[in-house]
Structure 1
Amino acid sequence: MVSDIVENPSSLSPSPSPVATGAPRLLDLVRERLRLKHYSVRTEKAYLGWIRRYIIHHGRRHPANMGRREVEAFLTSLAVERDVSAATQGQALSAILFLYREVLEQPLPWLDEVTRAKRPARLPSVLLRAEVQRLIAAADDPLNLIVSLLH
């Protein structure tokens, strides 16, 4: 065993990094593909940020070695632990789908186990006809004309 190390000293060194071998890094590949498809600079920055957070969330594992479970776990953690909005979670999902579909060329099956962030309830901002009439009637003379015109 010691003779193997002496005869082959490279067996002690760790595997070469992508930089040392000249292979492009993953985020550089993502950036290149985003630019090739003419995505905006802001989208590029956002997607790279989400992909970086996804990788860090899973202990810096390469996304090619991860799949559906890891994507679902990350997106669910955004909604449950970080309490992000539905739009933010959707942007993270878009970034990860771009990574897998466009860069790694690995289709992801439908992600139905993801806990989705809740969308805020939208209340209508329209008054009923009777409410508008009461509002105008309650306003004094110079104001009721203004309120009528605004309505």
Structure 2
Amino acid sequence: MEITQALEQSRPGMIRDVENAISQRQLNQRTQQTYLHWISRFVLFHGLKDPDELALEDQQQFLNYLKNQISLSRARLNQASQALSFFFEDVLHKPTIGNTAAA
């Protein structure tokens, strides 16, 4: 199973929603791949929970896990944070914590 299939398992049509939002922002293919990767890892981290049920606390919990348990580099942590900000704002239309994970 590809990691992005987690998005479809959490909510059918989610990959399409993410790809549509990426297209609207005219992001390049590499950014699309990176965002899909981090968004999928986020959904997997939370047990394939429907993304509409996830909140800011879930976003912060995942970023703290990446920072403290995985010891992700600052650059990768920023990528993950930007991907989640995009996901919450542009796909789920929810507020986000912004790009403060690496602070």
Question: TM-score scaled by structure 2?
Answer: 0.81
Aligned partner of 2:35 in structure 1 is: 47
Return the structure number with greater relative CO, CA threshold 8 A, min gap 6: 2
User: CA shift at 1:36, angstroms?
Assistant: 2.1
Q: Secondary structure at the match of 2:27?
A: coil
Structure 1 residues not aligned, in runs of 5+: 1-18, 118-151
Structure 2 residues not aligned, in runs of 5+: 1-7
| C-alpha RMSD of the superposition | 2.2
Q: Is the 8 A contact 2:19 2:32 kept in 1?
A: yes
Question: TM-score scaled by structure 1?
Answer: 0.56
Q: Secondary structure at the match of 2:52?
A: helix
CA shift in 2, pair 1:105/1:41, >3 Å = same
Output the amino acid matched with 1:67.
A
Aligned partner of 2:58 in structure 1 is: 70
Aligned partner of 2:47 in structure 1 is: 59
Q: Secondary structure at the match of 1:61?
A: coil
How many aligned positions are there? Answer: 94
Q: Is the 8 A contact 1:55 1:63 kept in 2?
A: yes
Q: Is the 8 A contact 2:89 2:96 kept in 1?
A: yes
More helix by proportion, 1 or 2? 2
Indicate whether 1:107 and 2:95 are aligned: yes
Q: Is the 8 A contact 1:68 1:111 kept in 2?
A: no
- State the 4+ residue runs in structure 1 displaced beyond 6 angstroms: none
Q: Distance in 1 between matches of 2:70 and 2:17?
A: 28
Indicate whether 1:82 and 2:66 are aligned: no
User: CA shift at 1:110, angstroms?
Assistant: 5.6
Q: Distance in 2 between matches of 1:24 and 1:82?
A: 29
